[in-house]
Homo-oligomer: A and B are copies of this chain.
Amino acid sequence: MTDTAPRPTLEAVAARAGVSRATVSRVVNGGDGVREPLVERVRRAVEELGYVPNQAARSLVTRRHDAVAVVIAEPEARVFADPFFALQLRGISKELTAHDNQLVLLLTEGRDDHARVARYLAGGHVDGALVFSLHLDDPLPGLIQGAGVPTVFGGRPGWSDGRAAATGPTVYVDSDNRGGARDAVRHLASLGRTRIAHITGPLDQTSAADRLDGYRDVMGDADPGLVAESDFTPAGGERAMRALLDRRPGLDALFAANDLTAAGALRVLRERGLRVPEDVAVVGFDDMLPVAEQTDPPLTTVRQDIEEMGRLMARLLLRRLDRPGGGTGPRATDEDGPGGTPAPPDGPDEAGAGVVLPTTLVRRTSA
């Protein structure tokens, strides 16, 4: 434990560097107008003394903490087990770091801890929040509303119809889950398959519900026995595949709601002696690497750019935070957006503004 030693002061840095307090202050606060050799001397002195600018004083001026919270509404163990979150965090981390904002990941053991997360958000420790993986009956959105920090959601929140009035305009970034699912099922149909099964994700998440809707857009409600609900995990995929084969042994294709589920289903198909794609053609969703390339056979799947979703969420939030007056002023010019990124929504004056990224079918061997 490092005891609270006296913190080096701005004056000490100035003395060490042989410059004025004002010069140190300008360098530390990223201001311009200081010549490069002086900047270098101040930086060296800052490092040698371990000087840390007084954030509280700085925040008083800028009213910013330069910190953004990420809340994933899943237990800590799942966050580390599912590569989906790692990929989104990668995009978020790159974007926040590029703007010198600190990524503050708030981990929990589960839903019981969400009130504590909301207290932290309300405590003035971050400028905004990026929130993922909401389930329909989760109290978190209401709690976050209570915390009063600008928020961007990952995935279309399930309450955008019913609860919109209560929660105010909701900004989210999502993939075209329904369109991607339609592409997957149409591809299977184009191969001449007619008994196409679907293993869903947890249907209290809009991403899973939207993919089921896409499947139904193509298949209709013909045979509900071809649909099995699951939970986006490999073990869940195994269980659902067994149930499907037991009740519909003649199925000739599968659209799995994500790649992890497809990986589990492929193991069961092999175990039952069914050939993929000859007997059962399989399409997944995500194009999660290396999973989708390492299945046996390699997986045909619907690609969504998960890292870009994270990056875009962070960008939308930072842009909002950069507006004078916290969102009511004119929109900041976007000088850092890469080409090809869809234009983000205009902001809080649009109710329920969502950015929906396109998906593409990636053909490998399984279908």
Contact = CB atoms under 8 A, between A and B. Distances in A.
A1 B151 CA distance: 4
A160 interface: no
Contact of A94 (B109, B118, B125, B139): B109
Contact of A123 (B56, B86, B169, B317): B56
Contacts of A202: none
A100 B124 contact: no
A123 B67 CA distance: 11
B109 A146 contact: no
Q: How large is the interface on A (under 10, 10 to 19, 20 to 34, 35 or more residues)?
A: 35 or more
Interface stretch (A45-53, A228-236, A240-248): A45-53
Contacts of A76: 89-90, 93, 103
A144 B1 CA distance: 11
Per assembly, the copies of the chain total 2
Contacts of A46: 115
Given A93-B109, A108-B97, A2 B144 contact: yes
Interface in A309-340: 316-317, 320, 326-327
B348 A1 contact: yes
A147 B117 contact: no
Contacts of A102: 106, 113, 116-117, 119-120
Given A1-B170, A5-B145, 12 more contacts: A2-B150, A3-B169, A4-B326, A46-B115, A50-B143, A55-B120, A66-B116, A67-B125, A80-B80, A80-B89, A102-B119, A105-B105
